[in-house]
């Protein structure tokens, strides 16, 4: 019997898949997951990660939040549970991302494809590995508003699919989960919360009119949680509204693209002719692997095995011959759906169920929902939620499950491609971590942190943190001391020194507009930064705290804030401080290729005098603002 004919026999094909490709797929998923867990203790970004950690460590210390997100309150108790260990927080973040992605992928496959749960578990785990693309920036490993947004959208979609299954308990649990997910989404990014609420309403109204009452129940759950949150954080709804409005006012001073007029925009999907050609060829190969007749299953099976081996090689050795670009994460699923339309005269499209069409369209827009309201290019921001694009393909091609096909053989190519994409993107983040020296694999300096745990850092960053701690403690910088960071880019240092950053978790220094406005594929910070915003944020602090605060400066640095101007906003002058410690900021292969000297300044004025000067400066500022309005 010819070899292809042996694979034409359904039983032989099933045995081959169960004993070779499915275990290989499961092993590949495990390796990808273990890879991210292993490197969770590697690297540290002084900028954005400092913002995240300062927000999480002491969220109640700030009257405003920039960006306008309450994620710090959500992660504060997990942070305490972890004992301040950054590596543990990152591991928990990676594990939760993988778990939620796995659950959603499993529900989608079981909803539309006829396959038993053990095989569905392996296939869905492979698809869910694409959720790890959420960490295509190493900064995202530390819990932040972007990961919380992604998690909340996953929870909402899990809830909708559970509510669609038989059984009262499942339906009730599903709608409760939708409400909880909506609340989490508001805590992460209010703009995304408004968008997902609209998506859920459209989904229910179009497909399930009888679910209007449960949908209102989910809304009530979200509203109840939000009300409780408002009282815990700000003593009531009025306090929370005031916080968000004040945050928006300060954000407007940061030269960010967060205005309503810019929120609803169409960004350009960055690609190149070579990348476009690669994407089209990949989509064609994927379609052929999925749609080819059962008489020719040997070649697709070997191709899947080869792709899995390449994926493992990338994860283990770090050698990536493919180098997947982020736009590919959308283009391949999009071209696959378009190509599937032409299969057998539009068979896939003609036999679609309303639910599969609705879910496919919902999955396609969810990445943009996650990015809505941010200043980043929406395609770049949405690519962190690329799992939804792949799930759209699974829902859209679901009519193939009714045509007597081997479901495992049909879904395995999608699984293998998802794993390959994940390995390539995460490998790029490992080799080129943002705001750090290249190649996390080369880091070897084990650095203990006073708050708990250790990190493996580059030697230069480890030495910098050690020098700062060695100099700061003997001169009187104690744990919990208030510090005004005028370096413009070192909130992470304040976290490591266990101090409290005043004004905001990160007083962002001025950036070049091109650098800050996220037109490029590797953005640096979400704001251009400004001295006016720093002064305004410090205006929400108590004069008593500012009177005793130390100051961190970097006079020659490219992103430093105006020392004299910002100090004047709370009635201080440079002569009111004395240099207590000095050290050089570490260089990196990103936005800080040169070393600049930083200094810690200790207040020398009596606290009572400094406090009175702060009050007078604020009164003068209010008077000027009053006259300017006239």
For 398-448, how does the pLDDT look when each residue is reduced to its tens digit (9 = 90+)? 888 765 567 788 899 999 999 999 999 999 999 989 889 999 999 999 999
Nearest-angstrom CA–CA distance, 41 and 462: 13
Buried b (16+ CB within 10 A) or exposed e, 261-274: eeeeeebebebeee
Distance CA(511)–CA(52), nearest Å, equals 20
Secondary structure of residue 166 in the 3-state scheme: coil
- pLDDT at residue 254, as a whole number: 79
Q: What's the CA gap between 597 and 584, in Å, rounded?
A: 4
Alpha helices in 164-211 (DSSP H): 168-188, 190-207
- State which H helix or E strand residue 616 sits in: helix 607-629
pLDDT, tens digit, 9 for 90 and up, residues 55-112: 999 999 999 998 889 999 999 999 999 999 999 999 999 999 999 999 999 999 999 8
Assess whether pLDDT exceeds 70 at residue 209: no
3-state DSSP helix/strand/coil % of the chain, to nearest 5: 65, 5, 30
Q: How far is Cα 513 from Cα 528, in angstroms, rounded to an integer?
A: 6
Task: Give the per-residue pLDDT at 458.
Answer: 94
**pLDDT-derived band of residue 375, with 50, 70 and 90 as boundaries?**
confident
**What tens digit of pLDDT does each residue of 297-348 get?**
677 788 899 999 999 999 999 888 888 888 999 999 999 999 988 877 677 8
Ranges of H-type helices in 189-272 = 190-207, 212-234, 237-251, 260-263
Structure tokens at 572: 């201080």
pLDDT at 360 over 50: yes
Residue 584: per-residue pLDDT: 92
- The model's pTM: 0.93
Distance CA 293, CA 406 (A): 10
Max CA pair span of the chain: 96
pLDDT at 475 over 90: yes
| pLDDT (tens digit per residue) in 508-552 | 988 764 443 334 444 445 566 788 999 999 999 999 999 999 999
What's the pLDDT at 514? 43
SS3 326: coil
Cα–Cα distance, 293 to 435 (Å, whole number): 49
Q: Which two tokens stand for residue 373?
A: 């309201």
Question: Do 324 and 32 form a contact (C-beta atoms < 8 A)?
Answer: no
Please name which of 91, 106, 93, 100 lies closest in space to residue 35, comparing C-alpha atoms.
Answer: 91
């Amino acid at each position: 019997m010819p070899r292809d004919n042996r694979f034409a026999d359904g039983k032989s094909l099933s045995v081959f898949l169960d004993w070779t490709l499915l275990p290989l797929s499961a092993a590949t998923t495990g390796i990808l997951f273990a890879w991210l867990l292993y490197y969770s203790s590697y690297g540290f970004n002084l900028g954005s990660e400092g913002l995240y950690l300062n927000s999480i460590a002491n969220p109640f210390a700030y009257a405003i939040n920039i960006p306008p997100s309450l994620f710090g309150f959500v992660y504060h108790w997990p942070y305490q549970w972890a004992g301040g260990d950054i590596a543990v927080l990152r591991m928990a973040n990676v594990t939760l991302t993988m778990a939620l992605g796995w659950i959603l992928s499993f529900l989608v496959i079981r909803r539309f494809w006829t396959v038993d749960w053990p095989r569905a578990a392996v296939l869905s785990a492979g698809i869910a590995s694409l959720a790890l693309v959420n960490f295509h920036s190493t900064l995202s490993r530390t819990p932040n508003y972007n990961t919380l947004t992604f998690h909340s959208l996953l929870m909402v979609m899990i809830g909708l699919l559970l509510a669609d299954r038989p059984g009262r308990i499942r339906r009730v649990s599903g709608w409760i989960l939708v409400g909880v997910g909506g609340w989490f989404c508001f805590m992460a990014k209010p703009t995304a919360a408004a968008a997902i609420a609209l998506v859920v309403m459209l989904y229910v109204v179009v497909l399930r009119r009888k679910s209007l009452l449960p949908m209102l129940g989910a809304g009530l759950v979200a509203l109840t949680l939000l009300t409780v949150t408002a009282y815990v954080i700000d003593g009531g709804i009025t306090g929370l509204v005031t916080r968000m409005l004040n945050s928006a006012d300060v954000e407007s001073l940061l030269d960010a693209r967060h205005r309503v007029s810019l929120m609803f925009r169409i960004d350009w999907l960055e690609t190149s002719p070579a990348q476009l050609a690669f994407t089209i060829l990949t989509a064609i190969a994927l379609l052929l692997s999925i749609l080819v007749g059962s008489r020719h299953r040997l070649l697709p099976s070997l191709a899947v095995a080869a792709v899995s081996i390449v994926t493992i090689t990338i994860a283990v050795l770090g050698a990536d011959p493919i180098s997947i670009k982020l736009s590919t994460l959308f283009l391949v699923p999009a071209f696959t759906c378009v190509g599937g339309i032409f299969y057998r005269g539009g068979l896939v499209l003609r036999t679609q169920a309303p639910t599969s069409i609705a879910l496919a369209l919902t999955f396609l827009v969810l990445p943009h929902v996650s990015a809505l309201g941010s200043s980043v290019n929406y395609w770049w921001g949405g690519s962190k939620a690329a799992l939804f694009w792949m799930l759209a393909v699974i829902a859209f091609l679901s009519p193939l499950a009714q045509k007597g096909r081997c479901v495992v053989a049909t879904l395995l190519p999608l699984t293998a491609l998802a794993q390959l994409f994940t390995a390539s993107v995460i490998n790029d983040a490992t080799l080129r971590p943002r705001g750090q020296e290249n190649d996390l694999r080369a880091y070897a300096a084990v650095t203990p942190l006073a708050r708990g745990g250790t990190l493996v850092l580059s030697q230069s960053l480890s030495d910098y943190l050690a020098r700062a701690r060695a100099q700061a403690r003997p001169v009187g910088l104690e744990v919990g001391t208030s510090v005004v960071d005028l370096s413009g880019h070192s909130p992470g240092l304040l976290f490591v020194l266990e101090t409290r950053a005043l004004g905001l978790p990160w007083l962002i220094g001025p950036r070049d507009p091109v650098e800050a406005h996220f037109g490029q594929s590797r953005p640096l910070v979400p704001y251009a930064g400004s001295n006016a915003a720093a002064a305004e944020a410090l205006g929400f602090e108590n004069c008593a705290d500012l009177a005793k605060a130390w100051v961190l400066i970097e006079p020659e640095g490219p992103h430093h804030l105006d020392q004299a101007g910002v100090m004047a906003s709370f009635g201080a002058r440079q002569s009111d401080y004395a240099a207590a410690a000095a050290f050089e900021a570490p260089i990196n292969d990103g936005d800080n290729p040169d070393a600049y000297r930083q200094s810690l300044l200790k207040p020398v004025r009596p606290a009572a005098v400094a406090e009175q000067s702060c009050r007078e400066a604020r009164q003068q500022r209010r008077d000027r603002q009053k006259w300017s309005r006239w």
